[in-house]
């Protein structure tokens, strides 16, 4: 129930250097949230990334299936010759 910015600030305040936040709706593959503002004047100083629910679910499921508590995830900015704004999806959706 808290905003993307609030979640990011909580991670930052607890020493996080970056955060990946996924929607909790595992079947969400197209609905993006407002990540920049939450009607406050607060800011965050760490990199923060939003994943669609489906993408976050796939990562969590893979971790559980392999019995891993965490993983190193490399997310390229754009792995295609098509600009991401034309794809209308994050690049990892097409992997």
Q: What is the pLDDT of residues 32-57, one digit of tens each?
A: 665 556 678 888 899 888 888 888 88
Is the pLDDT score of 81 beyond 70?
A: no
- pTM for the complete prediction? 0.60
What is the reported pLDDT for 73?
73
What is the reported pLDDT for 77?
60
Is the pLDDT score of 10 beyond 90?
A: yes
What is the reported pLDDT for 71?
81
The alpha-carbon radius of gyration of the chain (Å, integer) is: 14
Average pLDDT over the chain reads 78
Question: Whole-angstrom Cα distance, residue 22 to residue 54?
Answer: 8
């Amino acid at each position: 129930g808290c905003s993307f910015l609030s979640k990011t600030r909580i991670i930052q305040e607890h020493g996080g250097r970056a955060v990946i936040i996924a929607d909790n709706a595992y079947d969400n593959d197209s609905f993006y949230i407002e990540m920049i503002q939450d009607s406050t004047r607060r800011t965050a100083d760490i990199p923060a990334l939003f994943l669609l629910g489906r993408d976050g679910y796939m990562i969590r499921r893979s971790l559980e299936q392999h019995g891993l508590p965490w993983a190193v995830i490399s997310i390229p900015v754009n792995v295609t010759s098509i600009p991401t704004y034309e794809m209308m999806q994050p690049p990892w959706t097409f992997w």
